[in-house]
Structures are given as structure tokens and as C-alpha cells.
């Protein structure tokens, strides 16, 4: 489907990006930017008064046996398939992001992945992923399908034509990045699953391994495992991507290895990481954040600057270019993808 294919440009060695002092200074830098405050506000949003820092996180932590990774990119699993990497960049069918790509180390060291959250700087979790072993990995497919099946993810990655897509990424907490994902359309995965004509929604459930994921052990008040869902017409949209990699390589663990969804018109939490189940349903399934705080996190959760979060405006966002550069910019309708997805949401204010 692509006439325009560009070779990714960020393979050029960039010594600045690998200077450890950059990420060692992160906390300090983010505090200066005011991001620490946003993070704390969101913690309250997500789990009410069950504030993670008040729990004896160390005593509850899963035993950690593997050595701490040296840096955020050392968490790319050694046994992740690399066939098809780096993939050719596709630019047809959706707009250019209109802003530069976020620095790679920032995208892999400022994360939301509650299964790994511990204490302190809650975004700083890459070093807690040592015990997590994504491969081998299978996905169970069930519900309204012709035939339930189990898919091996390494096979899937090898068999799919991988492509690179540079998407804008917007978290509900009002920060954003620009990410070069590697992956394949969710539509292709769904076609492989062969849903029947009763299927109106598709539900995703993330992995639940408390012995490998310290955040699971430390936050029993959440309804683990993480669960999300989309309407079928959303899931079949061209923009919906199954990401298996980023920046030309397989996903680091903290970014959702071995696979996660990238839905650029929705708030980040609509894209489950590390899912192990795909279930096709007739009825709208419950979703994790919506179940916890329905007034704050809707089922659709499209990026919409005219619909404020009850506790903050969504009209603008802090665009994180690097650990030290975070400019406040206006948020765009459907995160800039209104032309691609606006017709799916006739009831949503689009002014
Ligand atoms: N399983 C799972 N998936 C998840 C989350 C999570 O905590 N657990 N966090 C979500 C949120 S809030 C965001 S913003 C993105 C963050 O992706 P990143 O860390 O790769 O930027 O993942 C989403 N997917
Ligand atoms: Mo998020």
C-alpha cells in the first residue's frame, strides 16, 4: 500500500543519545520540567487513595534474580525475532507527525507500565524488568471466532510484513511523544483470527506474572491483569497497529515486549502492552481504567482537546522531544488523525 518508503534516519550513531549521564539525570530534569507533578496527579487519578508509595514496596517486591540491565535499551530481549528489522517506513494513508521524533532513550525511560511500577519515580521502570522474559509468547484467541486458536508471537512477527510508522503518541496525562513504531496492522491479526459475524468488539488482556513484574506484586488493589477493548470498526481501521518494535529494533521490555497496540488517535492507555488474549465479543467489554474511574476514563478515550479530563485540561500537551526538552503545544482533534477516524465517532464533539 505504500508508494513512499523512506529509510529510517535514526540509525545514524548518536553518541549523545547513549550518554548515561542523560538518563541518570532524568529525575532531576523531569522535576524541573514539572512532570513529576503530573505523574503524581495521575497516580491519584488511577488508584484513588490507594497510593502506591504508602505500601511497603520492598517487602512485597517479587524476588529479583536477574542482574539489573545497564540501560534502557539493554532490555530488548536477546531472543526477540529480528527478521524484517529495520522495516521500511510507510508514510501513505496518514499524516506526517509534523514534529520531530522523540529521542530514543527518552521513549524507553519515561514509561507507563503499571505492572512494573514500584516506588519513587513511577515512570522510571526499565530497570525493574530484568526478570521478565517475553519470549516464547503465545496469544490465545477465543470468543466469537470460527475456531479458537493459539498464536505463537515469534512466528507471527516472522510471518507478517513489518512496516515502520511514525505516529504521534498522546498520554491522557497530557504529555506526548513522536514514536517510530515497527509492526503490522491490527486488521491483519484480526483477519487471521477469523471472527464470526457476531463479533462487535475485541478485547485484549495483558500478561499477569507477579513473579516477573514487581508492580503486580506491589499493587494488589488494581484489578489485574490489565484489560482493554475496541469496537471492531476501530480495530479494523488502517491506523491501528500491532507494534512489535520501535526505533528499528524489537520493543524493549518496558515498552511492551513482545507486542502492544499503537492507536495514535486514542489516549495511550487504550493500547495494551504484552497482551496474551484476544477475545471477540457481542457486548462491549469492561476496560481497566474505565472500570476504576468511569468519570475520568471513557471507553472510547479518543484524544479530544475540547473534552477536558475532570481534573485537567486536554487542550494542550507537553511534547517530550528529549529528557530536557518538553515544549507545551496545542492538542489536536483525534491527535491529528481526524481525517482517518473522525467518521467513526459521529456523536463526539469535534469542534
Ligand atoms: N499492560 C499495560 N499496558 C499499558 C499500560 C500499563 O500500565 N499496562 N499503560 C498504558 C499507558 S497509560 C500508556 S501512556 C502507554 C505507555 O507506553 P510507553 O511506556 O511505551 O510510552 O502504555 C499503555 N499500555
Ligand atoms: Mo497514559
Closest residue (by CA) to atom 11 of ligand 1? 269
What predicted TM-score, i.e. pTM, was given to this entire model? Answer: 0.85
Is residue 239 within 8 A of residue 261, CB to CB? The reply is no
Over 50: is that where the pLDDT of 260 sits? yes
114 C-beta closer than 6 A to ligand 1: yes
Task: Output the DSSP codes for 287-312.
Answer: -HHHHH-TTTS-SS-B--TTS-BTTB
Tell me how far the alpha carbon of residue 319 lies from the centroid of ligand 2, in angstroms.
Answer: 14
Tell me how far the alpha carbon of residue 271 lies from the centroid of ligand 2, in angstroms.
Answer: 9
- d(Cα 338, Cα 340) in Å, to the nearest integer? 5
Domains along the chain?
Answer: 14-342 (3.90.420.10)
pLDDT computed for residue 64 by the predictor: 58
Bond into 156 cis (ω within 30): no
CB atoms within 10 A of CB 236: 16
Mutate to test the pocket of ligand 1, among 75, 256, 257, 317 (most ligand atoms within 8 A of CB): 256
269 C-beta closer than 6 A to ligand 1: yes
268 C-beta closer than 6 A to ligand 1: yes
| Selection from 21-35, 57-71, 79-93 with the highest mean pLDDT | 79-93
Closest residue (by CA) to atom 14 of ligand 1? 268
Is residue 56 within 8 A of residue 223, CB to CB? The reply is no
Per-residue pLDDT of 97-138, as tens digits, reads 999 999 999 999 999 999 999 888 999 999 999 999 999 999
Per-residue pLDDT of 32-62, as tens digits, reads 333 333 333 333 333 322 223 333 334 345 4
Tell me how far the alpha carbon of residue 147 lies from the centroid of ligand 1, in angstroms.
Answer: 30
Could you tell me which of 350, 344, 85 has the C-alpha nearest to residue 238?
Answer: 344
Is residue 249 within 8 A of residue 83, CB to CB? The reply is no
171 C-beta closer than 6 A to ligand 1: yes
Over 60: is that where the pLDDT of 78 sits? yes
Over 70: is that where the pLDDT of 160 sits? yes
CB atoms within 10 A of CB 153: 22
Tell me how far the alpha carbon of residue 197 lies from the centroid of ligand 1, in angstroms.
Answer: 31
Over 90: is that where the pLDDT of 263 sits? yes
272 C-beta closer than 6 A to ligand 1: yes
Bond into 316 cis (ω within 30): no
Closest residue (by CA) to atom 8 of ligand 1? 113
Tell me how far the alpha carbon of residue 22 lies from the centroid of ligand 2, in angstroms.
Answer: 23
pLDDT bin (cut points 50, 70, 90) of residue 65 is confident
Burial class (CB in 10 A: 0-12, 13-18, 19+), 340: middle
Over 90: is that where the pLDDT of 183 sits? yes
Task: Output the DSSP codes for 235-276.
Answer: HTSTT-EEEEEETTEEPPGGGTTT-EEE-TTB-GGGS-BSEE
What is the pLDDT averaged over residues 252-261?
98
CB atoms within 10 A of CB 58: 10
pLDDT computed for residue 151 by the predictor: 98
pLDDT computed for residue 212 by the predictor: 97
pLDDT computed for residue 158 by the predictor: 95
Residues across the chain: 351
Q: Is 335 helix (H, G, I), strand (E, B) or coil?
A: helix
Tell me how far the alpha carbon of residue 171 lies from the centroid of ligand 2, in angstroms.
Answer: 4
pLDDT bin (cut points 50, 70, 90) of residue 66 is confident
pLDDT computed for residue 13 by the predictor: 27
**What percent of the chain shows pLDDT beyond 70?**
82
- d(Cα 169, Cα 256) in Å, to the nearest integer? 15
Over 60: is that where the pLDDT of 259 sits? yes
pLDDT computed for residue 293 by the predictor: 96
Half-sphere exposure of 16 (CA within 13 A, CB side): 6
Tell me how far the alpha carbon of residue 256 lies from the centroid of ligand 1, in angstroms.
Answer: 8
271 C-beta closer than 6 A to ligand 1: yes
Indicate the average pLDDT of the chain: 86
Q: Is 92 helix (H, G, I), strand (E, B) or coil?
A: coil
Nearest-atom number in ligand 1 for the CA of 289 is 12
pLDDT computed for residue 63 by the predictor: 55
Degrees to nearest 5, angle at CA 39 with 273 and 36: 130
Mutate to test the pocket of ligand 1, among 128, 271, 292, 309 (most ligand atoms within 8 A of CB): 271
Per-residue pLDDT of 266-319, as tens digits, reads 999 999 999 999 999 999 999 999 999 999 999 999 999 999 999 999 999 999
Closest residue (by CA) to atom 20 of ligand 1? 255
Is residue 90 within 8 A of residue 165, CB to CB? The reply is yes
Closest residue (by CA) to atom 6 of ligand 1? 113
Longest CA–CA separation in the chain, Å: 55
104 C-beta closer than 6 A to ligand 1: no
Nearest-atom number in ligand 1 for the CA of 255 is 20
pLDDT bin (cut points 50, 70, 90) of residue 208 is very high
pLDDT computed for residue 29 by the predictor: 34
pLDDT bin (cut points 50, 70, 90) of residue 22 is very low
Bond into 90 cis (ω within 30): no
Question: Which value, to the nearest 10 degrees, does the dihedral of the CA atoms of residues 316, 107, 322, 270 take?
Answer: 0
Over 80: is that where the pLDDT of 1 sits? no
CB contact set of 61 (below 8 Å; sequence gap of 6+): 118, 214, 217, 218
Amino acid at each position: 500500500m505504500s508508494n513512499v518508503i523512506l529509510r529510517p534516519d535514526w540509525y545514524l550513531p548518536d553518541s549523545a543519545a547513549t550518554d548515561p549521564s542523560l538518563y541518570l539525570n532524568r529525575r532531576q530534569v523531569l522535576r524541573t520540567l514539572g512532570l513529576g507533578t503530573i505523574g503524581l496527579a495521575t497516580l491519584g487519578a488511577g488508584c484513588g487513595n490507594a497510593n502506591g508509595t504508602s505500601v511497603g514496596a520492598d517487602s512485597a517486591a517479587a524476588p529479583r534474580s536477574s542482574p539489573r540491565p545497564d540501560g534502557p535499551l539493554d532490555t530488548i530481549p536477546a531472543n526477540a525475532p529480528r527478521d524484517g528489522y529495520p522495516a521500511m517506513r510507510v508514510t501513505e494513508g496518514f499524516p506526517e507527525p509534523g514534529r520531530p521524533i522523540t529521542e530514543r532513550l527518552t521513549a524507553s525511560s519515561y514509561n507507563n507500565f503499571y505492572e512494573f511500577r514500584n516506588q519513587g519515580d513511577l515512570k522510571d521502570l526499565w530497570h525493574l524488568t530484568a526478570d521478565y522474559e517475553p519470549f516464547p509468547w503465545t496469544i490465545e484467541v477465543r470468543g466469537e471466532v470460527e475456531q479458537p486458536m493459539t498464536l505463537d508471537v515469534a512466528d507471527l512477527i516472522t510471518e507478517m510484513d513489518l512496516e515502520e510508522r511514525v505516529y504521534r503518541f498522546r498520554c491522557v496525562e497530557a504529555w506526548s511523544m513522536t514514536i517510530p513504531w515497527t509492526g503490522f496492522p491490527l486488521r491483519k491479526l484480526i483477519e487471521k483470527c477469523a471472527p464470526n459475524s457476531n463479533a462487535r468488539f475485541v478485547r485484549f488482556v495483558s500478561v499477569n506474572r507477579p513473579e516477573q513484574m514487581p508492580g503486580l506484586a506491589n499493587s494488589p488493589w488494581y484489578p489485574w491483569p490489565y484489560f482493554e477493548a475496541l469496537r471492531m470498526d476501530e480495530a479494523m481501521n488502517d491506523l491501528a497497529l500491532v507494534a512489535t518494535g520501535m526505533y528499528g529494533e524489537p520493543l524493549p521490555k518496558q515498552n511492551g515486549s513482545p507486542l502492544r497496540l499503537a492507536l495514535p488517535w486514542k489516549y495511550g492507555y487504550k493500547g495494551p502492552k504484552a497482551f496474551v488474549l484476544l477475545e471477540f465479543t457481542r457486548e462491549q467489554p469492561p476496560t481497566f481504567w474505565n472500570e476504576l474511574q468511569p468519570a475520568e476514563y471513557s471507553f472510547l478515550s479518543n484524544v479530544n482537546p475540547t473534552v477536558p479530563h475532570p481534573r485537567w485540561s486536554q487542550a494542550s500537551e507537553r511534547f517530550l522531544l528529549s529528557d530536557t526538552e518538553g515544549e507545551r503545544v496545542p492538542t489536536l482533534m483525534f491527535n491529528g488523525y481526524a481525517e482517518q477516524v473522525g467518521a467513526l465517532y459521529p456523536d463526539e464533539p469535534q469542534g
